[in-house]
Amino acid sequence: MDIPTEMQHQAMGYDRAATMFSPDGHLLQVEYAEKAVKWGSASIGLVCKDGVVIIADRRLRDKLVASESMNKIYEIDEHIVATASGLLSDARILIENAQVLSQQNRVTYDSPIEPIAVIRMIADRKQMSTQYGGARPYGVAFLLGGANKGKAHLYTSDVTGNFLAYKANALGENDEKIKEILRKDYREDMTIDEGIKFSLKIFKEILEKNFDLQRFDVGYVKIADEKLVRLHGDELKKYSK
């Protein structure tokens, strides 16, 4: 009986270190970390004609948890918003590093940092954990959006340390189903308000009977003022009609 390749690699110890390649060129610990991202709750990011918006599902499952403590929209700087999927404790560390970098840029250059500089730093930290021993890979992926110099930006950074710019993207649970809808129905000329309605419609389709506005955090940054605005719960009712 042939043994599956993955099991062969596990038996031979290729998954014991993040820095050890398997014979077919895989870093198995990094691939395991990618699975942690798939277990995380879903988020959607959209570049709209007037800014960028991110909608995150907090997936609250315990009524005893104070809902305000489960925020999934992170402010990097007043013009940059992010969310994450995977191990949110890993995300917290990288978010705090990004916040420090943003403030250092303001103090040093007296200007807001460009979103690409933030996502590059996050991606560099992730890549380091796949190249050197003594630390496991970060089990988290990011959607990061911002407005800078009259243009909206959306970036995704994965577990491996890669990052790409997107017009629209999704992370976490059911991300492939969401991406299929985005590829079919996303329009570059939609406004932020239309983008929020569109994203909530997608979540309603995916979650079905589990859909509840209280699950969602929304953050957007308009090109006009480059200021983060947060929405949550009942504030989203007008977008869900």
Instruction: Give the pLDDT score at 1.
Output: 41
Could you give the maximum distance between any two Cα atoms of the chain, in Å? 66
What phi and psi, each to the nearest 5 degrees, are found at residue 77?
Answer: -150, 175
pLDDT in tens, 172-230: 999 999 999 999 999 999 999 999 999 999 999 999 999 999 899 999 999 999 999 99
State the pLDDT confidence band at 10, using cuts at 50, 70 and 90.
Answer: low
Short-list 225, 226, 204, 238, CA closest to 57: 204
What is the mean predicted confidence (pLDDT) over 11-15? 58
What's the CATH fold of domain 45-239?
A: Glutamine Phosphoribosylpyrophosphate, subunit 1, domain 1 (3.60.20)
What dihedral angle (degrees, nearest 10) is formed by the CA atoms of 196, 98, 138, 20?
130
What is the mean predicted confidence (pLDDT) over 22-40? 83
CA-based angle 39:44:48, to the nearest 5? 165
Q: Which residues pair with 217 in a beta bridge?
A: 56, 232
CA-based angle 192:196:200, to the nearest 5? 170
Question: DSSP characters for 96-135?
Answer: HHHHHHHHHHHHHHSSPPPHHHHHHHHHHHHHHHHHSTTS
Strand order in the sheet with 51-57: 168-171, 43-48, 51-57, 216-222, 228-232
Percent of the chain with pLDDT over 90: 69
Residue whose pair of structure tokens reads 């988020």 in the numeric block? 43
> In the chain, where are the structural domains located?
45-239
pLDDT in tens, 102-136: 999 999 999 999 999 999 999 999 999 888 777 88
Least confident of 12-16, 27-31, 118-122, 153-157: 12-16
Instruction: Give the pLDDT score at 146.
Output: 97
Percent of the chain with pLDDT over 70: 92
Average pLDDT of the residues of the chain: 90
What phi and psi, each to the nearest 5 degrees, are found at residue 227?
Answer: -125, 130
Short-list 80, 75, 55, CA closest to 148: 80
Q: Residue 167: which residues within 8 A CB-CB, separation 6 or more?
A: 46, 47, 154, 186, 188
Q: Cα separation of 29 and 42, whole Å?
A: 23
Q: Cα separation of 226 and 112, whole Å?
A: 10
pLDDT value at 2 more than 60: no
Instruction: Give the pLDDT score at 11.
Output: 42
